Amino acid sequence: MVGCRETPHFVGPGSAHARTGQRGSFADLIVADRPIAGLSWLDYGTAIEALISSAELSRDETQAAPLRTPANRRAGVREYVAAQDGDGWWDYFRLSDYLSLSITEAVYRKDRWISVEGGSFFKIRVLLAGRLLSRDGTTLLESPQAQLHVCAGARGGGYKIAGQVPTTLVVLHCGPELLSERLGLPLGEAPDPLRALAGPSLAAGVSNRVSLTPELFRAAQWIHASRYSVLSTVRAAYLEALSMEMVCQIVTDLSAGGSAPSCGRSLLSRDRRRVHEARDYLSLHYASPPTIPQLARMVGMNQTKLKAAFKQLLNVTIYEYVLQRRMEVAAQMLVEAELSVAEIAYRVGYDYPANFSCAFKRYYGRLPRDWKHE
The residue from 194, 225, 256 where one domain ends is 256
Indicate whether 225 and 267 sit together in one domain: no
Please tell me the total count of domains within the chain. Answer: 2
| 147 found inside a domain | yes
| 279 found inside a domain | yes
- Residue 315: pLDDT band (50, 70, 90) is confident
Percentage, residues of the chain above pLDDT 70: 79
At how many degrees (to 10) do helices 214-229 and 353-364 cross? 80
Length of the chain: 374
pLDDT digits (tens, 9 = 90+) for 12-64: 333 333 333 333 335 568 888 777 776 666 676 677 777 777 766 665 554 44
- Residue 85: pLDDT band (50, 70, 90) is very high
In this prediction, residue 61 carries a pLDDT of 52
| 113 found inside a domain | yes
Stretch 134-145: mean pLDDT: 85
Stretch 62-89: mean pLDDT: 70
Separation between Cα atoms, residue 9 and residue 32, nearest integer Å? 8
Indicate whether 113 and 62 sit together in one domain: yes
Does the pLDDT of residue 91 top 80, yes or no?
yes
The residue from 256, 274, 293 where one domain ends is 256
In this prediction, residue 138 carries a pLDDT of 86
| 167 found inside a domain | yes
pLDDT digits (tens, 9 = 90+) for 352-371: 999 999 999 888 888 998 88
Q: How many CB atoms lie within 10 A of CB 45?
A: 18
Residues 6 or more apart from 365 whose CB is under 8 A from it? 214, 217, 218
Q: Which of 180-189, 209-218, 272-281, 313-322 has the lowest mean pLDDT?
A: 209-218
CA geometry: angle at 286 spanning 282 and 287, to 5°?
150
Q: Identify whether the C-beta of residue 243 lies closer than 8 Å to the C-beta of residue 250.
A: no
- Residue 271: pLDDT band (50, 70, 90) is confident
> Can you list the alpha helix ranges (DSSP code H) found in the chain?
16-19, 41-60, 70-73, 177, 214-229, 232-256, 260-266, 269-284, 292-299, 303-314, 318-336, 341-347, 353-364, 368-372
Q: Which of 34-48, 223-237, 251-265, 270-284 has the lowest mean pLDDT?
A: 251-265
Q: How many CB atoms lie within 10 A of CB 314?
A: 19
Average pLDDT over the chain, rounded to an integer = 80
Indicate whether 296 and 360 sit together in one domain: yes
Indicate whether 219 and 277 sit together in one domain: no
In this prediction, residue 374 carries a pLDDT of 58
**What is the phi/psi pair of residue 108, to 5°?**
-95, 150
Indicate whether 191 and 283 sit together in one domain: no
Please indicate, yes or no, whether the overall pTM of this predicted structure exceeds 0.75: no
In this prediction, residue 215 carries a pLDDT of 81
End-to-end CA distance of the chain: 28
DSSP code at position 188: G
Q: Which of 79-83, 203-207, 328-332, 336-340 has the lowest mean pLDDT?
A: 203-207
Domain residues for 326?
260-372
Does the pLDDT of residue 99 top 70, yes or no?
yes
Q: How many CB atoms lie within 10 A of CB 5?
A: 16
| 9 found inside a domain | no
Q: What is the CATH number of the domain that holds 246?
A: 2.60.120.10
Relative to beta strand 119-129, strand 167-174 is antiparallel
Stretch 275-302: mean pLDDT: 90
Does the pLDDT of residue 6 top 80, yes or no?
no
Dihedral of CA atoms 180, 183, 186, 190 in degrees, nearest 10, equals -110
Does the pLDDT of residue 340 top 70, yes or no?
yes
Dihedral of CA atoms 4, 6, 11, 16 in degrees, nearest 10, equals -70
Indicate whether 340 and 309 sit together in one domain: yes
In single-letter form, the type of residue at position 260 comes to A
Stretch 319-337: mean pLDDT: 87
Q: Which residues pair with 158 in a beta bridge?
A: 115
In this prediction, residue 209 carries a pLDDT of 79
Q: How many CB atoms lie within 10 A of CB 329?
A: 18
| 265 found inside a domain | yes
Indicate whether 216 and 345 sit together in one domain: no
- Residue 171: pLDDT band (50, 70, 90) is very high
| 215 found inside a domain | yes
Q: Is the peptide bond before 193 cis (omega within 30 degrees of 0)?
A: yes
Largest CA distance in the chain: 79
Indicate whether 129 and 245 sit together in one domain: yes
CA geometry: angle at 259 spanning 257 and 262, to 5°?
130
Indicate whether 217 and 270 sit together in one domain: no
| 170 found inside a domain | yes
Does the pLDDT of residue 111 top 90, yes or no?
yes
The residue from 218, 241, 256 where one domain ends is 256
Indicate whether 129 and 244 sit together in one domain: yes
Indicate whether 252 and 288 sit together in one domain: no
Q: What is the CATH number of the domain that holds 335?
A: 1.10.10.60
* SS3 annotation, 247-260: HHHHHHHHHHCCCH
Burial class (CB in 10 A: 0-12, 13-18, 19+), 192: middle
Indicate whether 140 and 241 sit together in one domain: yes
